[in-house]
Amino acid sequence: MKKRSRNNSVRKFVTQLMTSNCGAGAVTRAESSMAACSVEDVLAKAERDEAERLKSISVVKELELEFDVGNLLALDKNPVELRGRSQDREELLRALARDNVQLLVNEIWKLPAERTDDVLVVKLPEASTKLPREKPLPKVRPPTKWEQFAKLKGIQKKKKTNLVWDEVHKEWRRRWGYKRGKDDTKEWLIEVPETADPSEDQFAKRNKAKKERVAKNEFNRLRNIARASKTPVAGLGLAPRAQQSKSELAQAVSVARTSTASVGKFQDRLPKEKAPRNTGKKRKFQPLLGDFGNEKQKQLEMLKVMETKKPRLDVTKAVNKQLREDEEEEGRTRRKKGSGKKGDRGKRGAAGGKGKGAKGAKGSKGGKGARSTKGKGRGPHMKQGKR
């Protein structure tokens, strides 16, 4: 019935198509029989298209395919002739891929399936094709010195049993852990050693020793994990310094302050604590939609600056720079004048004359009227020696 109804609908569609092609006039029976595409041809083409769309799940091959369902792999050894078929090569490859996938799906459907949450689930078998590794094989760990020594001496590791006989309770108990055998921490009476302090609490001492053992075991466990993962362990390597510098302490305080959820914004400040320096300020951008007049004014000012050849002059900055240069020049001249006065004082006693003068005035030309004070040829700043 479905096929007959589909054929009837196709006949109606073909009749309408032929009617529209012939124009607004009526189509006679002779004209319709002489049409290039008859109704039978159109129906045959439609059936072929339907069969092409709904292909059968049974595919016939000259050579059977080799399947590896574990890897979802199908190996087709049938030859493919592609010579001289450049036009329909893509169609041929697409049809070949479809047939091979259909055969692989048929093999999957042969496996036992089970329904889980209204879904069919199939467990794939072990893969038979060995795929290449992505990475090389891991290297064999070399034996340790103890393993070499034990192998040389024939020493074998003896595994301890998990149970041990408890003489007090007369039963087998675990060697370690909760309710273990020979547990001395449950004894209600402890003998005080002769060398111990009589006033010392032995029960508190025992509990403290137990806590230390637990902490030591936990530290060893974490150290082994870090050693296996090749990460640094806290407490190993460089020892911490006894005293930190002022800058390091300030940095530590700053980091501790900003380590809160509000990044230190609502953190209370300690008394006499200075405000943090070099704190980053959040950039504030102009809104995308806002004061168009202000935005227009800024753009016009920018264009005005770009159009002018000379840069904008900051009068205050230029005046301050000129005053600073004048002060520096005046200071340099003062220093030069001061150095010149000191040099004139040293040469005042050597104005002229052949008489004996200061050490720096030997060979000076002039008469006997050379200027001198307090003695022959002495300079003003020279001390008088022994006579």
- CB count, 10 Å around CB of 106? 13
Specify the pLDDT at position 220: 93
Q: Half-sphere exposure of 204 toward its Cβ, with a 13 Å CA cutoff? A: 3
Contact yes or no for 218/225 (Cβ under 8 A): no
- Looking at the DSSP assignment, which residues form a beta bridge with residue 74? 67
Specify the pLDDT at position 178: 86
Helix (H, G, I), strand (E, B) or coil at 359: helix
Helix (H, G, I), strand (E, B) or coil at 326: helix
The candidate with the shortest Cα–Cα distance to 241, out of 233, 231, 249, is: 249
Specify the pLDDT at position 39: 77
Supply 311's token pair.
């840069």
Specify the pLDDT at position 350: 47
Average confidence (pLDDT) per 10 residues, the chain, 387 residues: 49 54 46 59 80 74 90 90 80 89 91 88 90 88 93 90 89 89 83 89 91 94 88 58 80 85 83 75 76 86 79 82 93 82 52 46 46 49 50
Specify the pLDDT at position 85: 76
d(CA 26, CA 170): 114
Which residues fall within 8 angstroms of residue 346, CB to CB, at 6 or more apart? 360, 379, 381
d(CA 260, CA 282): 18
